[in-house]
């Protein structure tokens, strides 16, 4: 597994000289995970950030009634971690589970801090990642309030088609904030053209 996709991702987020992106990539190590493995379990401190080269994952929490509620999906070319646990060094409330075998590039907290303090381009890259992640989170939060379940479903289809190839419908339903039955009804209505 070469680091080309990681280097390309870094340069896509923040254009920089190839040698700087290559230097940053030296702080990452490869890891493989298999379906149903966990990158993180609730109650543990997130000590690593994973750049997903291939595969598919989900994060989820368990609600007060014991139901798993999917909070996010992670496909290729995205970082998977519990941002809050990773940076604040507190136990996570989330689980990150592999849904399809994964190859990741991993940086631990200490190496990430070294990059922040020694590579100015990495600080700017980190700032851009923070902005992108905040924007994504805010958009999702507002969508849960301002969009109907059908609109949320259609938006998910348009933006993340890989979710439907890798995640069971019950995970997709919980991510959308609806029941499995409601998701089935929405899918049937869309298939019929309303």
Averaged pLDDT, 124-153: 95
Structure tokens at 191: 């298939």
The residue among 131, 111, 129 whose CA lies nearest residue 24 is 111
- Whether 147 has a pLDDT exceeding 80, the answer reads yes
Residues 171, 185: Cα–Cα separation, whole Å: 16
Q: Beta strands of 63-194 (E only): which ranges?
A: 68-74, 78-80, 95-108
User: What is the CATH code for 4-146?
Assistant: 2.60.120.10
What mean pLDDT is predicted for residues 140-155? 95
State the pLDDT at residue 192.
86
Given a cut of 90, whether residue 123 has pLDDT beyond it is: yes
pTM (predicted TM-score): 0.92
What pLDDT shows up at residue 191? Answer: 84
pLDDT of residue 169: 95
| pLDDT of 194 above 90 | no
* 52 Cβ contact partners less than 8 Å away, ≥ 6 residues apart: 74, 75, 76, 77, 78, 79, 80, 102, 103, 104
pLDDT tens string 25-73: 999 999 999 999 999 999 999 999 999 999 999 999 999 999 999 999 9
Q: Tell me the domain boundaries of the chain.
A: 4-146, 147-194
């Amino acid at each position: 597994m070469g680091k080309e996709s990681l280097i390309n991702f870094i340069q896509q987020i923040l254009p920089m000289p190839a040698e700087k992106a290559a230097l940053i990539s030296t702080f990452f190590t490869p890891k493989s995970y298999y379906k149903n493995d966990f990158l993180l379990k609730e109650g543990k401190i997130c000590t690593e950030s994973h750049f997903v080269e291939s595969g598919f994952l989900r994060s989820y929490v368990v609600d007060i009634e014991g139901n798993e509620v999917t909070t996010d999906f992670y496909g290729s070319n995205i970082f998977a971690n519990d941002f809050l646990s990773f940076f604040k060094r507190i136990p996570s409330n989330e689980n990150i589970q592999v849904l399809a075998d994964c190859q990741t590039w991993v940086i631990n907290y200490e190496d990430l801090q070294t990059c922040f303090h020694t590579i100015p381009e990495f600080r700017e890259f980190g700032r851009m990642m923070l902005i992108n992640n905040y924007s994504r989170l805010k958009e999702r939060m507002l969508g849960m309030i301002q969009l109907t379940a059908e609109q949320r479903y259609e938006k998910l289809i348009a933006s993340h088609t890989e979710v439907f190839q890798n995640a069971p419908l019950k995970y997709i339903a919980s991510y959308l904030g609806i029941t499995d039955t409601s998701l089935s009804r929405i899918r049937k209505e869309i298939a019929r053209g309303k």
